[in-house]
Amino acid sequence: MAVELQEELTPADAVLLLGSAPERIGDLVYGLDDARLRYRHGPAFPTLGGLLGHLLDSGTRIDGLLRRAHLEGLTSADIRAVIDPGHEQDLDRPLQEALEDFARVRRRTVDLLHGWGKNEWSRVISDPHGGPLSLLDICRQVVRHEMAHIVQIRNLTSLLPEPEDLGPPSPRAAIG
């Protein structure tokens, strides 16, 4: 079940939601160990580590696209591939390090977005697969993508099995 926004996000709304993503993600996964990040609820479900790897990678890619559009005048990009690059990657480094890097990059992007006026938000990037999109429309797509994955992370973390302390091994189990 997808939740659709009932009204269009303003630039201020988009900046607020983009800026809050790293903290929301961090709050949801705080204290998870590697075993929980690798836990798969079923064959059709991603692991939390895989989902986090995807979300942090796509977030960093889109931040780069927005900076390049503003600073270098980028006019064409495969926006769908940047926003949703695929779910194959797992976290390739410790979770805390990946979250801190994403938060740092996102803060720089949000600082940049705060300075944009109407002309910058309405600048168009041509996507060979999706046609022309304004930078505001791209940010709206990113917000929907990230919030959907944040909900998915919340759902997957709530279904994690509780860690079990089986106690010390029994002497009989070691003998047998």
Residues contacting 37, CB < 8 A, separation 6+: 29, 47, 48, 49, 52, 91, 95
Total domains in the chain come to: 1
Residue 31 lies in a domain: yes
Phi, psi of 18, deg, nearest 5: -65, -40
pLDDT tens figures, 20-54:
999 999 999 998 888 889 888 888 888 899 999 99
Q: Which residue has the tokens 């990059």?
A: 105
Residue 111 lies in a domain: yes
Residues 147 and 145: their CA atoms lie apart, in Å, by: 6
| CATH number (domain holding residue 108) | 1.20.120.450
Q: What percent of the chain has pLDDT over 90?
A: 65
pTM, rounded to two decimals:
0.84
